[in-house]
């Protein structure tokens, strides 16, 4: 893969990394940037191309750094700006890209801007946040953190007014109508680009503007502003990777691609994610067919980003009531597994630690349209700890080996306990053990990534779901120029036969992408058989 291509991200595999959890280089119990540098070779070997780092900036950490208190520095637990620069350089030396987090919608209430803003009505920073004398405004705007918040307004005694916040009440929303704030945001972006970052994951962008009479999501003013920011970024560093966190239905998400060149080049596909789990639980493909049929084509220059899990709850916002009930029933049997509108568990425990299902979902991840992200630890099948509060259940230390702190840290006390239960504990699930075992999930993930990268169709291809009478089998067809890959997934726990109409490829051979073995010849009735939860990738040609 050429790293210099402007659209390198189309062929890339991304890795989401929580610095605090990864490797503690200075023995203070918190992972840090120098620790990440120690692990770059591991990431290179895994085969990923870019690392998305969760928030790094100074913060009181009431929302793990998504509550920013200084946009220009590094949190002391993580190191210093010089360490960050070193990380970028070391990553680049290995051909890895670094994606930073850009939290634009809000700050911490401990940010000096907010401290000033709340101090008096005529403070010059007053207008940098959204204030009102009434908490009745924007009554139609939904609350996102339903477990902890009862309103999007919080009363502030100093000036007797309410401030607006879409997330926690300690995260006041910035006011993007203010030109000075907008100028400041450009400085922030330039600061990080000058440090060498290759791009940003842009947090919570649908909520930047508020307008009376709307639900304050996806409104025109927000799109206009994102275009303004994109054009500024294009001036300083064209080709910057910009990934928007837009947790919306496809029809509301697509407008963030703009005309293909003037807004977001990349967006997460949120609604497909829970349906991958649902399809496997039901043993049938209907919910995936439904959401993909509802997903319009996107501009040629743009790309979806797909994922199985991330640092947040497995969100169930973009599903129907029935689908949500099904998901809770199946995947969150205990109340403490739920949070807000979602499930705070990791991939392997969600799937009952069934390796067949873990592999099946990863196969879908790698063959759906777009760029896949792997959440740290999922490549070794790490577990979660639902006894920790909030989303910390899925943010525990990376399990490197079976030594007392699992090779994560030499400290006496860690920011969070290492997982130690029978099924997922670090004695059993760790990188060193999986390195030594050729049949491990880690080796398998490396192979999966490697084979994905041998096919430009995966990442760059035109995507199609083929029809099949057998509803337990899900065939994804990806084609790019001469490269055609058919990925079949058996969603059920039974053997399945399927007949596919491949007349357009008549007489061409279907060879297993992993073994090279020819398994069939394309015809109008191409018969194939899959074992329970098996997947097959076939190269056609």
Report how far residue 381's alpha carbon sits from residue 401's, in angstroms, rounded to the nearest whole number: 14
Residue 273, SS3?
Answer: helix
Q: Indicate which single residue of 16, 83, 203, 384 sits in contact with ligand GLC (rule: CB under 6 A).
A: 203
What's 322-338 look like in SS3? HHHHHHHHHHCCCHHHE
- Answer for which of 204, 305, 374, 441 binds ligand GLC (CB under 6 A) is 204
Q: State in angstroms the smallest separation of the CB of 462 from ligand GLC.
A: 31
Nearer to ligand GLC, 10 or 311 (CB): 311
> Nearest distance from residue 414's CB to ligand GLC, in Å?
21
Identify which of residues 165 and 452 has a Cβ nearer to ligand GLC in the complex.
165
| Least distance from ligand GLC to the Cβ atom of residue 108, Å | 10
Q: Which is nearer to ligand GLC, 64 or 116 (CB)?
A: 64
Residue 507: CB minimum distance to ligand GLC, A: 49
**Chain centre to alpha carbon of residue 377:** 14
Q: Cα–Cα distance between 244 and 201 in angstroms, integer?
A: 6
Q: How far is the CB of 29 from ligand GLC (least distance, A)?
A: 22
Is residue 99 within 8 A of residue 53, CB to CB? The reply is yes
Question: Which of 77, 73, 54 lies closest to 65 in space, CA to CA?
Answer: 54
**What is the total residue count of the chain?**
541
Q: Least Å distance between CB 20 and ligand GLC?
A: 13
Q: How far apart are CA 205 and CA 214, in angstroms?
A: 16
Residue 128, phi then psi, degrees to nearest 5: -75, -15
Phi, psi of 90 (to 5 degrees): -65, -40
By the rule CB under 6 A, 210 interacts with ligand GLC:
no
CB 477 within 8 A of CB 505: no
Residues contacting 98, CB < 8 A, separation 6+ = 50, 51, 53, 87, 88, 91, 92, 196, 197, 198
d(CA 36, CA 13) in angstroms, rounded, equals: 18
* The three-state (H, E, C) secondary structure of 129-153, written as one string: ECEECCCCCCCCCCCCCCCCCCCCE
Residue 25 to residue 37: CA distance in whole angstroms: 9
Catalytic residue among 149, 173, 203, 217: 203
CA 312, CA 245: separation in Å to the nearest integer? 12
**Would you call 245 a catalytic residue per the annotation?**
yes
The answer to whether residue 109 is catalytic is no
Residue 167 or residue 331: which is nearer to ligand GLC going by CB?
A: 167
Of residues 153-192, those binding ligand GLC (CB under 6 A)? 167
Binding-site string for ligand GLC from residue 491 to residue 530, where x marks contact by CB under 6 A and - marks none: ----------------------------------------
Residues 242-271 that bind ligand GLC (CB under 6 A): 245
Residue in the shown chain whose Cβ atom is closest to ligand GLC? 66
Of the pair 167, 537, the CB lying nearest ligand GLC is at 167
Active-site residue (options: 210, 245, 323, 390):
245
- Return the residues of window 417-436 that contact ligand GLC according to CB under 6 A: none
For residues 15 and 52, is the Cβ–Cβ distance under 8 A?
Answer: yes
| Structural contact between residues 485 and 535, judged by C-beta atoms closer than 8 angstroms | no
Neighbouring CB atoms inside 10 A of 77's CB total 21
Complex with ligand GLC: residue 205 or 536, whichever CB lies closer: 205
Q: Give the residue with the Cβ less far from ligand GLC, 103 or 484.
A: 103
Burial environment of residue 475 by CB neighbours within 10 A (0 to 12, 13 to 18, 19 or more): buried
Least Cα distance to 27 among 414, 403, 290 occurs for: 414
Name which of residues 41 to 80 contact ligand GLC (CB under 6 A): 63, 66
Shortest Å, Cβ 41 to ligand GLC: 28
Beta carbons of 486 and 540 less than 8 angstroms apart: yes
Among 62, 91, 252, residue whose Cα is nearest residue 171? 62
Q: How far is the CB of 156 from ligand GLC (least distance, A)?
A: 20
The count of chain residues that interact with ligand GLC, using the rule CB under 6 A, is 9
Q: What is the CA radius of gyration of the chain?
A: 23
Nearest-approach distance from CB 439 to ligand GLC, in angstroms: 34
Pairing of strands 314-315, 199-203: unpaired
- Determine which residue in the list 11, 312, 378, 379 makes contact with ligand GLC, applying CB under 6 A: 312
By C-beta, is 103 or 472 nearer to ligand GLC? Answer: 103
* Closer to ligand GLC by Cβ: residue 34 or 103: 103
Looking at residue 174, what DSSP letter applies?
B
> 3-state DSSP call for residue 197?
coil
Q: How far is the CB of 191 from ligand GLC (least distance, A)?
A: 20
- Of the pair 97, 311, the CB lying nearest ligand GLC is at 311
Strand segments, DSSP code E, in 285-325 are 303-307, 314-315
Catalytic positions: 203, 245
Q: Which residues bind ligand GLC (CB under 6 A)?
A: 63, 66, 103, 167, 203-204, 245, 311-312
């Amino acid at each position: 893969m050429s790293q210099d291509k402007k659209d390198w991200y189309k062929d890339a595999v991304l890795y989401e990394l929580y610095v605090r959890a990864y490797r503690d280089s200075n023995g203070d119990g918190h992972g840090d940037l120098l620790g990440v540098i120690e692990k770059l070779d591991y990431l290179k070997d895994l085969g990923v191309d870019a690392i998305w780092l969760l928030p790094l900036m100074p913060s009181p950490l009431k929302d793990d750094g998504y509550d920013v208190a200084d946009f220009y520095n590094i949190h002391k637990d993580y190191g210093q700006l010089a360490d960050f620069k070193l990380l970028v350089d070391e990553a680049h030396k290995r051909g890895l890209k670094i994606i930073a987090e850009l939290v634009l919608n809000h700050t911490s209430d401990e940010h000096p801007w907010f401290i000033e803003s709340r101090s008096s009505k005529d403070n010059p920073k007053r207008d940098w946040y959204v204030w009102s004398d009434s908490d009745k405004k924007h009554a139609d705007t939904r609350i996102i953190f339903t477990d902890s918040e009862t309103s999007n307004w919080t009363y502030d005694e100093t000036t007797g007014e309410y401030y607006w916040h879409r997330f926690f009440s300690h995260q006041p929303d910035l006011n993007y109508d203010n030109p000075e704030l907008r100028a400041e945001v450009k400085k922030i972006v330039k600061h990080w680009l000058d440090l060498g970052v290759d791009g940003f994951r842009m947090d919570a962008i649908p909520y930047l503007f508020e307008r009376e009479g709307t639900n304050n999501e996806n409104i025109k003013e927000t799109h206009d502003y994102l275009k303004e920011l994109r054009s500024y970024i294009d001036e300083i560093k064209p080709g910057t990777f910009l990934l928007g966190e837009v947790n919306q239905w496809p029809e509301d998400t697509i407008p963030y691609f703009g005309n293909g060149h003037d807004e977001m080049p990349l967006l997460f596909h949120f609604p497909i994610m829970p349906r991958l789990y649902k399809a496997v639980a039901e043993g049938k493909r209907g919910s995936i067919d439904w959401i993909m049929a509802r997903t319009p084509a996107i501009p040629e220059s743009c790309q979806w980003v797909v994922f199985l899990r991330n640092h947040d709850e497995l969100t169930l916002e973009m599903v129907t009531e029935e689908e949500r009930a099904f998901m809770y029933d199946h995947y969150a049997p205990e109340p403490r597994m739920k949070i807000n509108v979602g499930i705070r568990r990791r991939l392997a425990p969600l799937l009952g630690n069934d390796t067949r299902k873990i592999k099946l979902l990863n196969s879908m991840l790698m063959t759906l349209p777009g760029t896949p992200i792997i959440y740290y630890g999922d490549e070794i099948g790490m577990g979660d700890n639902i006894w920790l509060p909030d989303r910390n259940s899925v943010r525990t230390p990376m399990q490197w080996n079976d030594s007392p702190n699992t090779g994560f840290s030499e400290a006496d006390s860690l920011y969070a306990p290492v997982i130690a239960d029978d099924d997922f504990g670090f004695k059993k699930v760790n990188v060193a053990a999986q390195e030594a075992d050729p049949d491990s999930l880690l080796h398998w993930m490396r192979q999966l990534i490697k084979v994905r990268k041998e096919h430009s169709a995966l990442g760059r291809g035109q995507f199609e779901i083929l029809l099949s009478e057998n509803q337990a089998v899900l065939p994804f067809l990806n084609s790019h120029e001469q490269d055609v890959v058919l990925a079949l997934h058996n969603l059920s726990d039974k053997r399945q036969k399927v007949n596919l109409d491949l007349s357009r490829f008549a007489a061409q051979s279907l060879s297993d992408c992993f073994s090279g073995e020819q398994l069939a010849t394309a015809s109008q009735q191409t018969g194939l058989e899959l074992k329970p939860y098996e997947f097959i990738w076939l190269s056609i040609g």
